[in-house]
Amino acid sequence: MGELPAKVSIREVGPRDGLQNEDPVPTGAKIRLLDALSGTGVGRIEAVSFVHPKAIPQMADADEVWSGATQVDGVRYSALVPNSRGAQRALAAGFTEVEVVVSASDTHNRRNVNRSTAESLDDIAGLIALLHDAGATAEVIVATSFGCPYEGDVDPARVAGIVDRVVADGADRVAFGDTTGMGTPRRVRELVTAVRDRQPDVPMLLHFHNTRGTALANLLAALELGVTEFDASVGGLGGCPYAPGASGNVATEEVVHMLHDMGVDTGIDLDRLIEVAAYAEEIVGRQLPSGVLRAGPRTRLG
């Protein structure tokens, strides 16, 4: 095991990526969740997405949620947008950090947005310009970066090529999503290395799913390569992509629990975070796939 970074930056994605993949919950609960997360010490929160309410009813109240939540000093909030209409809504709501998504796999991208990866990249070039003109930063999230549920393996060189393109178009940051939990530590190493070889300077964030149990192993492999930015979802909010028990997003409290025990600082109060995970479980009304929520941290003795 190599040297680990002293500190990592967690972006909490439960309010957006998590709740977008659960049955709709009341606006008030979303606001309380956001406010509770803002009080955990987490440095970044993906708050909402500005998407068409018919396509994603879970986010139909994004404006109300955002205007109802308390923005805490020192927390960076971001929003995800699918197109220029969404970007304009995000800017109007006051967001200065905005994310856009493209799938590394052509088939996955077509199933999601009915266009090829190349076509989406053309759109994203325009979105980056729009966001920059308004003084916001643009992060490009590359979905299916560690494998595609339709095509199988995704060549790290293909993902690195996408990074080349979006960096040339002005992207401020990139993120790599393990959309259906197909990543393993080897693939993390291959992808991070492939991207770093070509774009050593672009900030990079990794987004792991625990569908096949590998999320924390993948995170460890990334840490050993010096990656210091990770998404995670409180309680593992984000639905069961296959069946009950098959989890999606890695739970923030599992990430923080492991990191803190390894001496890696996150700035997050774990006990407070676990309380928020219990609240997240309450608002979605089902047991969330979080071992640390169930068993408590290793420091809780019997």
* Nearest residue to 33 (alpha-carbon basis) of 251, 293, 233: 233
CB of 203 to a second copy, least distance (A): 21
Quote helix, strand, coil % in the chain, to nearest 5: 45, 15, 40
Number of chain residues interacting with a second copy (CB under 8 A): 57
Pick from 254, 256, 266, 268 the residue near a second copy by CB under 8 A: 254
The yes or no reply on residue 144 touching a second copy (CB under 8 A) is no
The yes or no reply on residue 6 touching a second copy (CB under 8 A) is no
Backbone angles phi, psi at 80, to 5 degrees: -105, 140
Integer Cα distance of 222 and 235 in angstroms: 22
Neighbours of 155 (CB within 10 A): 12
Pick from 242, 265, 271, 282 the residue near a second copy by CB under 8 A: 242
Pick from 39, 68, 149, 161 the residue near a second copy by CB under 8 A: 149
- Active site positions, annotated: 240
Q: Are 145 and 154 spatial neighbours (Cβ–Cβ below 8 Å)?
A: yes
The yes or no reply on residue 199 touching a second copy (CB under 8 A) is no
Window of 16-24, 54-62, 70-78, 240-248 that interacts with a second copy by CB under 8 A: 240-248
Integer Cα distance of 32 and 178 in angstroms: 28
Angle between helices 117-133 and 84-92 (to 10 degrees): 30
> Scanning the structure block, which residue is given the tokens 């047991």?
287
Binding residues for a second copy restricted to 154-193, rule: CB under 8 A: 180-182, 184-187, 189
Pick from 6, 133, 201, 243 the residue near a second copy by CB under 8 A: 243
The yes or no reply on residue 301 touching a second copy (CB under 8 A) is yes
Neighbours of 263 (CB within 10 A): 8
Choose between 72 and 217: whose C-beta lies nearer to a second copy: 217
Q: What's the farthest any 2 CA atoms get from each other in the chain?
A: 57
Residues of the shown chain interacting with a second copy in the complex, contacts defined by CB under 8 A: 1-2, 147, 149-152, 180-182, 184-187, 189, 210-217, 219-221, 224-225, 241-248, 250-251, 254, 257-258, 261-263, 287, 289-292, 294-299, 301-302
